[in-house]
Chains A and B, each alone.
Chain A
Amino acid sequence: MVNGKWLMARALRLAIYHLTFAIYHGPFFVALLIAGADDVLEAPMATTPMEEFLARLRGTRVWKSVFRRGPARSNRTRSLAVFGNIFLHAVPAKVREKSLRVRATYYLGSITFFLFVVLLITGIMLMFYYHPAIPQAYRDMKDLRFAVANGVFLRNLHRLGAQAMVAAVFAHMFHVFYRGGYRPPREFNWVVGVVLLLVTLFLSYTGYLLPWDQLAFWAITVGTNIISAMPVLGPKIRFLALGGNLVGENALLRFYVLHCVVLPLAAVVLIAVHFWRVQKDGGLTVGEDDVIPAKAGNQPPLDSRLRGNDKGEHGRKEI
């Protein structure tokens, strides 16, 4: 039996799946589009209608005003296409082939970022129904579970995605640690990563209270009592976090604001720094042969090559 409702739900799930896929892969497709993938593939003649359309689109004044450069026929113009775009700025203009292999990273950082984007989307969707108030919060959660169309799907995606993200963050950090990715020149990015781990854990913890069920209430009661075990500052921090002495209305609202505004903003900014530093620190760690000895060849460090040599201060150091 195939009924209409089932088909609708199925279609929506597929749509959400494709949407998240598009957001994850979008920048790379856009990069290819702007860089002129057809030129790269040595097909200068627009043959298919799609290629013809793209060729005409690139010729328009609007396109030129937005991207300010013609077809990317050389490495330089292709690089400029990436540098000149704020969204592509996080994507390296050049990568070593080795760093694209699955075994180089197992895509653990990318998976973490993908899950973060999924959590942003599903989180914003959940916010359309959720009131951070007592007893409305619990009712809204029940409403999402049992009454709202596809509510249970979004809620579970958010919950499971959050758990998966914590797991992915740990996997990513173990991988970086055992690869030695924390060593100079990447030591600062490791620190940024550790702060991102803390932000992730705080996001998990603050989100845990929001369903306002027994599990949430006691988890936050126990957790904030652990904070107050800290000498001198502990009880003050607990009072500030809860906005009172008990886990109540104030605590729910505070955790909601932290979970939906403060921590995601911090995460977005830190992720931007993290991605940017990956490039500035000489790309991904790919293994033992990753290290370029200072004496071998006269190649300046990647960083200085991109920005002009400034006394090699930011260049790759010998490990």
Chain B
Amino acid sequence: MASESENEKQSGAREVTRRDFLNEISIAALGVAGLGAAVVTYNYLSPNVLFEPSMVFRAGNPDLYPMNSVTYLQDQLVYVVRTASGFYAVSAVCTHLGCITQWKPEANMIACPCHGSKFKSDGTKIEGPAPKPLPHFAITLTTDGELQVDKLQTVKADQVLKV
């Protein structure tokens, strides 16, 4: 045994028998198959079609929203805010752990019932465990004059839609 290992060291390579070769090929094939199985399982478990409310939605005619108002759209979890400068859309989902916030007109703020985060109507944080302000979503006017909100697109807070 000792001389054999010395020979190996000298030649720098071990003789590969047919059995070694087949073993390694089999292990490699199993590895590839396992990896493939993991990938297709991951793909299978990630749904391609979601039966959830659409991320892009119409929010009706701008005239529906009075001046200086905050309107909560329950199905979309979005506040549509109208100020003198224009319209913007603020997420109603708390940036802390995803609870649904509530607009409190009497206190003039957005409050989260779960852990007490508080925000101004423009989404900026007043206090609470929430790490970030509520994001603004892109809001546009359709050709037939309706508001359209795209929740996939977040915009800067100073971006407002003038109607």
Contacts and interface: CB of A to CB of B under 8 A. Distances in A.
On whether the two chains bind one another, the answer is: yes
Contacts of B97: 221-222, 225-226
Contacts, number: 31
A65 B47 CA distance: 52
B98 A222 contact: yes
A200 interface: no
A156 interface: no
A240 B114 contact: no
Contacts of B99: 218, 221-222
A239 B97 CA distance: 15
A226 B114 CA distance: 14
A240 B42 CA distance: 8
B98 A245 contact: no
A290 interface: no
B52 A243 contact: no
B21 interface: no
Interface in B95-117: 96-99, 114
A244 B46 CA distance: 8
Tell me whether chain B's interface is mostly helix, strand or loop, or mixed: loop
Interface size of B as a range? 10 to 19
Interface stretch (A55-63, A117-125, A183-191, A246-254): A246-254
Contacts of A244: 47, 50, 52
A184 B114 CA distance: 45
Nearest to A239: B46
B73 to A, nearest CB: 15
Contact of A222 (B42, B45, B52, B114): B114
A240 B50 CA distance: 12
Nearest to B115: A222
B46 A240 contact: yes
Interface size of A as a range? 10 to 19
Nearest to A249: B51
Contact of B47 (A218, A221, A225, A250): A250
Interface in A96-129: none
Nearest to A236: B46
A145 B85 CA distance: 54
A157 B4 CA distance: 67
A243 B51 contact: no
A21 to B, nearest CB: 41
Interface in B50-101: 50-52, 96-99
A63 B96 CA distance: 65
A234 to B, nearest CB: 13
B47 to A, nearest CB: 5
Contacts of B46: 239-240
Which of B96, B98, B114 counts the most chain A CB atoms within 10 A? Answer: B98
Interface in B28-57: 42, 45-47, 50-52
Contacts of A218: 99, 114
Contact of B52 (A221, A240, A245): A245
Contacts of B47: 243-244, 250
Interface of B: 42, 45-47, 50-52, 96-99, 114
Interface of A: 218, 221-222, 224-226, 239-240, 243-246, 248-250
Those 10 A-B pairs whose CB atoms lie nearest each other, nearest first: A225-B98, A222-B97, A225-B97, A244-B50, A221-B98, A243-B47, A246-B52, A240-B45, A244-B52, A245-B52
25 contacts: A218-B99, A221-B98, A221-B99, A222-B97, A222-B98, A222-B99, A222-B114, A225-B96, A225-B97, A225-B98, A226-B97, A240-B42, A240-B45, A240-B46, A243-B45, A243-B47, A244-B50, A244-B52, A245-B50, A245-B52, A246-B52, A248-B51, A248-B52, A249-B51, A250-B47
